[in-house]
Amino acid sequence: MSTGCRELSRESGNSLDLPVFLQTRDAKLLPLPRLYSIVDPSLLPATADLFAFVAELASGGCTLLQYRNKTGEAPMMVEQARTLRKRLGKSVTLILNDRADLCLAAECDGVHVGQNDLSPESVRRIIGADRLLGVSTHNPEQLQDADLSSADYLAIGPVFVTSSKANPDPVVGLEGVRRARALTRKPLVAIGGITRGNAASVIEAGADSVAVISDLLRDPGKSAEEFFRILR
Ligand code: TZP
Ligand code: MG
């Protein structure tokens, strides 16, 4: 599934000065924004709060959102993801964590999988060529493997200590981001403990984008705007 745009992101070398683009087969260009927001419904148990949170993120400029639900039942997850899809419209790229089947059911734009989920190639068989596929990695070996897969972007982390993930892998630090950058030309998302205070250092270390849960929770619209300002 090679596309002209993936070649563009390779050729750009993911320079700090150049935008990185993902492209789906229908030739729709999707810029990988500096901020990759993640919504975790366990932190926003009231459905109204969840939708208000996401609406604020969108008004703060977020164009890439992951729905990450580690505890919900599948029907409820599909219901929430479908509602997000409808409310956000096509201006926000909606990625579902872990589950390729639910991504299709909810008509999301892509799936993000980790090391204990279906393999990237199995997910690709399910979601097809057009949807986006992200893969989490936690060390150079995993990153190199994922780099050989059909993943559209790779994630590395946790960069810093995080309390948002159960049993996190060891912290990779900024050095882990630098090492990851040297090992892939795919768009690279850094995750784990990233805040407005340390995000610039993560981008300087070579990440194209930062994925954030906690530091968006309070006043999400303003927080998102600040991330974009800092990472401009
Ligand atoms: N994967 C590695 S760290 C992490 C995930 C899902 C959690 C990131 O959350 P936070 O609150 O931004 O540290
Ligand atoms: Mg997973």
What CATH code is carried by the domain that includes residue 172?
Answer: 3.20.20.70
Would 196 be classed as within a structural domain?
yes
> Residues 9, 37, 136, 223: which is the catalytic one?
136
- pLDDT at position 27: 36
Burial of 114 by CB count in 10 Å (0-12 exposed, 13-18 middle, 19+ buried)?
Answer: middle
Would 147 be classed as within a structural domain?
yes
- pLDDT at position 25: 43
Which atom of ligand 1 lies nearest, measured to the CA of 160? 13
> How crowded is the C-beta side of 33, counted as CA atoms within 13 Å?
23
User: For residues 47 and 16, what is the distance between their CA atoms, to the nearest angstrom?
Assistant: 37
The domain tally of the chain equals: 1
Asked if 229 and 196 count as a contact pair (C-beta separation under 8 A), the reply is: no
Sorted by sequence, the CB contacts under 8 Å of residue 197 that are 6+ apart come out as none
> Residues 124, 165, 181, 186: which is the catalytic one?
165
What protein residues have CB closer than 5 angstroms to ion ligand 2?
Answer: 98, 114, 117
Quote the ligand 1 centre to 190 CA distance (angstroms).
Answer: 9
- pLDDT at position 28: 38
> Does ligand 1 have an atom closer than 6 angstroms to the CB of 162?
yes
| SS3 category, 7 | helix
Would 126 be classed as within a structural domain?
yes
Q: Give the domain extent around 107.
A: 32-231
User: For residues 186 and 194, what is the distance between their CA atoms, to the nearest angstrom?
Assistant: 20
Number of residues assigned to the chain = 232
- Partners of residue 191 on adjacent β-strands: 211
Among all ligands shown, which has an atom nearest to the Cα of 43? 1
Sorted by sequence, the CB contacts under 8 Å of residue 28 that are 6+ apart come out as none
Asked if 112 and 98 count as a contact pair (C-beta separation under 8 A), the reply is: yes
Output the furthest CA–CA distance in the chain (Å, rounded).
Answer: 45
| SS3 category, 108 | coil
- pLDDT at position 64: 97
User: Buried b / exposed e across 84-109, counting CB within 10 Å, b at 16+?
Assistant: bbeebeeebbbbbbbbbbbbbbbebb
> Residues 68, 85, 131, 186: which is the catalytic one?
68
Would 211 be classed as within a structural domain?
yes
The residue type found at 199 is A
- pLDDT at position 16: 43
- pLDDT at position 6: 37
Would 132 be classed as within a structural domain?
yes
Going 141 to 145 to 147 to 153, the CA torsion angle's sign is negative
Q: Is 151 left (phi over 0), alpha (psi -120 to 50) or beta?
A: beta
Would 27 be classed as within a structural domain?
no
What is the β-pairing status of strands 29-31 and 21-23?
A: antiparallel
- pLDDT at position 45: 80
Q: In whole angstroms, how far apart are CA 24 and each of 131, 153, 225?
A: 7, 12, 27
Would 7 be classed as within a structural domain?
no
Would 19 be classed as within a structural domain?
no
pLDDT in tens, the chain (232 residues): 333 333 333 333 444 444 566 654 443 345 689 999 999 999 998 999 999 999 999 999 999 999 999 999 999 999 999 999 999 998 999 999 999 999 999 999 999 999 999 999 999 999 999 999 999 999 999 999 999 999 999 999 999 999 999 999 999 999 999 999 999 999 999 999 999 999 999 999 999 999 999 999 999 999 999 999 999 9
